[in-house]
């Protein structure tokens, strides 16, 4: 039973919870897009070179030599002796293939030269060494 003196309350829509949900979804999408960057090599400390410049080539093969001297091709560990066969398989018949060597600056010179020697045995592979500007 209602009293006659009681005024009718106007209908209200509370949008604060909806705004909270929208901001939560927006935050999720912003954070997830930050992790979509593509890294082609393993993380190493690259040496610095004042003449470093960006190369634009369609097919890239990344060889990484980390500070322990371990070699990997496109993030897959490999022995230096098997490097020529693996690069040949990746290059195929593409004459525009670029093989990028990401070698940590603390790796011995001999290890990098051994990797370069294996890559030079592949016909059609262009060799580049990754550096970063100081």
71-82 average pLDDT score: 90
Residue 65: its H or E element: strand 59-65
In the predicted model, is pLDDT for residue 125 greater than 60? Answer: yes
Quick: pLDDT tens for 97-118.
Answer: 888 899 988 988 899 999 999 8
Segments forming the whole domain that contains residue 89: 59-129
Q: How far apart are CA 98 and CA 125, in angstroms?
A: 6
Examine residue 48 and state whether it is found in any structural domain, yes or no. Answer: no
Residue 54 lies in a domain: no
| The total number of structural domains that make up the chain | 1
Q: Is residue 101 part of a domain?
A: yes
Residue 42 in any domain: the answer is: no
Among candidate residues 45, 21, 24, 60, the one with its CA nearest the CA of residue 102: 45
Give which of 50, 56, 64, 69 is closest to 100, Cα–Cα: 64
Instruction: Mean pLDDT check: name the lowest of 15-19, 21-25, 34-38.
Output: 34-38
Query: Does the pLDDT at position 3 exceed 60?
Result: no
């Amino acid at each position: 039973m209602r009293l006659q003196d009681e005024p009718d309350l106007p209908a209200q829509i509370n949008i604060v919870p909806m705004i909270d949900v929208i901001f939560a979804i927006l935050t999720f999408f912003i954070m997830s897009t930050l992790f979509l960057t593509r890294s082609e090599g393993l993380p190493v400390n690259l040496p610095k070179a004042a003449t470093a410049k960006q190369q634009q080539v369609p097919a890239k093969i990344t060889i990484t030599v980390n500070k322990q001297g371990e070699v990997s091709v496109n993030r897959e560990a490999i022995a230096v002796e098997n490097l020529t066969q693996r690069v040949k398989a990746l290059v195929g018949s593409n004459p525009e293939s670029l093989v990028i060597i990401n070698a940590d600056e603390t790796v011995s010179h001999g290890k990098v030269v051994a990797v370069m020697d294996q890559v030079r045995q592949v016909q059609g592979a262009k060799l580049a060494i990754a550096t970063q500007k100081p």
